[in-house]
Amino acid sequence: MSDKREKYDFLIIGGGIFGIYAALYLSKFGLRICIVEKEKELLKKASIVNQARLHSGYHYPRSVATALMSDDNKARFTADHQQFINSEFEKYYGIERYGSFTDSQQFERFCAFINIRCEPVLRHPLFNYHRLEALYHTIEYSFDPILIAEYYRQQLKQHDGDIEVQMYTEVKQAEARGGAWAVELCSLENGRRREVEAAQVINATYAGSNAVNRLFGMRDIDLMHEISEMVFVTSPQVKNIGLTVMDGNFGSLMPYGLSDMLSLSSVAYTHHKVSYDNLPTFDCQALNPECRPDFPSVCSSCPARPRSNYRKMIGQIKHYFADHVEFHYFTSMFTIKSKLKANYIDDGRPTEISILNENPRFYCIFAGKINSIYEVEKVVKV
């Protein structure tokens, strides 16, 4: 690599919400920042393909640490994104009568322990109590991923003097030299190569985390990956209502932010394919040469994505509703969901930021939940 390099204080790889938030936060210190994103658009993966649950902790009765972290960040995320938050719906948590890992007593004890509201609902005309051991009225909001993505795109435009965004660009190679990172970038549009120097690097590529770690000679973090489907439905009867059934192979339905859609997920049917490799390795990649374990693509627009499981998912969630409740399928979005292998048992979703190299610094952000974007402020040194 030559010595004529553009210099940045931070090179951030990955233009999802975590990479973009980190860039906006760091720009407040007057630093020069470059975001490198491999796709043609920002925020096309997990940052928009998710259930949009503004976690309050209820979801993690087996991981008190994740539950407490959710509550930590909730108030600030809500205040900062007020116009994109749906707080006007009734949110219920139900305990499945058969085969749940949690029963009503445990769930109530857990809610009391982390101090979140859960009021038993003994009768409700919309729900089927034959399948629910207990139903609770809770407080949980939903954020609008599409509007939030647009907001962050606009924020970046307002910072185009101090945050450079390199779209459709790949990191070809990287090495530590003279206390900084020397990085070769390559445009995926025309193959043009460019050398840059960065004092610090942040890897915020989620499913791509280990591939980028390896490019910089860093160790893997232990991950597993799933190709996941979020289904979007409407219902004439279920308006402004969300239901999450705990705790095991069940499902969840809730308003997708401020849209008229309900997002529907099912532990049994949302996840089509599983990869226990540290890189997301799936058989469908053989059918799409643009998507590789070390360079995963956008599943929603992939011709090789799995066939939708929407019929099964609607069939499953209907069990928890009264007979007259109907759901109408609208569409599905697919993406890779990555998880820390360590959370296989407790189902926790912590956000972990590892410092994998001290000099020059290299951080790997592995994001568990959207409202933990602020964790970067605790770890990254300016």
Entry field: residues in the chain: 382
CB of 271 to ligand FAD, least distance (A): 8
Whole-angstrom CA distances from 343 to 55, 223, 299, 340 are 17, 10, 24, 6
Segment 122 to 161, residues that bind ligand FAD, using CB under 6 A: none
Q: State the virtual CA torsion across 339, 343, 349, 350 in degrees, nearest 10.
A: -110
Cα 174 → chain centroid: 27
Segment 258 to 297, residues that bind ligand FAD, using CB under 6 A: 295
Segment 163 to 182, residues that bind ligand FAD, using CB under 6 A: 171
DSSP 98: S
Query: Residue 324 contacts by C-beta under 8 Å, 6 or more apart in sequence?
Result: 237
CB of 70 to ligand FAD, least distance (A): 8
Q: Are the CB atoms for 244 and 135 separated by under 8 Å? A: no
Name 11's bridge partners: 34, 201
DSSP 286: G
Q: Is 13 in the site for ligand FAD (CB under 6 A)?
A: yes
Q: Is 185 in the site for ligand FAD (CB under 6 A)?
A: no
CB of 20 to ligand FAD, least distance (A): 7
DSSP 168: S
- Which residue from 62, 81, 305, 337 is in contact with ligand FAD, where contact means CB under 6 A? 337
CB of 75 to ligand FAD, least distance (A): 15
CB of 351 to ligand FAD, least distance (A): 7
Segment 47 to 66, residues that bind ligand FAD, using CB under 6 A: 47, 49-53, 55
Q: Is 36 in the site for ligand FAD (CB under 6 A)?
A: yes
Lookup: tokens for 311: 């019929």
- Which residue from 12, 149, 202, 230 is in contact with ligand FAD, where contact means CB under 6 A? 230
Q: Is 15 in the site for ligand FAD (CB under 6 A)?
A: yes
Q: Is 213 in the site for ligand FAD (CB under 6 A)?
A: no
Query: Residue 228 contacts by C-beta under 8 Å, 6 or more apart in sequence?
Result: 49, 265, 270, 271, 272, 334, 335, 336, 337
| CA angle at 126 for the pair 229 and 51, rounded to the nearest 5° | 25
Q: Which is nearer to ligand FAD, 128 or 308 (CB)?
A: 308
- Which residue from 8, 10, 11, 14 is in contact with ligand FAD, where contact means CB under 6 A? 14
CB of 60 to ligand FAD, least distance (A): 12
- Which residue from 11, 12, 17, 182 is in contact with ligand FAD, where contact means CB under 6 A? 17
| CA angle at 163 for the pair 294 and 188, rounded to the nearest 5° | 35
Lookup: tokens for 336: 């890779």
Q: Is 371 in the site for ligand FAD (CB under 6 A)?
A: yes
Q: Which is nearer to ligand FAD, 135 or 254 (CB)?
A: 254
- Which residue from 9, 12, 26, 37 is in contact with ligand FAD, where contact means CB under 6 A? 37
Q: Which of 57, 96, 142 is nearest to 349 (CA)?
A: 57
Q: Are the CB atoms for 61 and 108 separated by under 8 Å? A: no
- Which residue from 19, 242, 255, 360 is in contact with ligand FAD, where contact means CB under 6 A? 19
Binding site for ligand FAD (CB under 6 A): 13-19, 36-39, 45-47, 49-53, 55, 171, 204-206, 208, 211-212, 228, 230, 295, 335, 337, 367-371
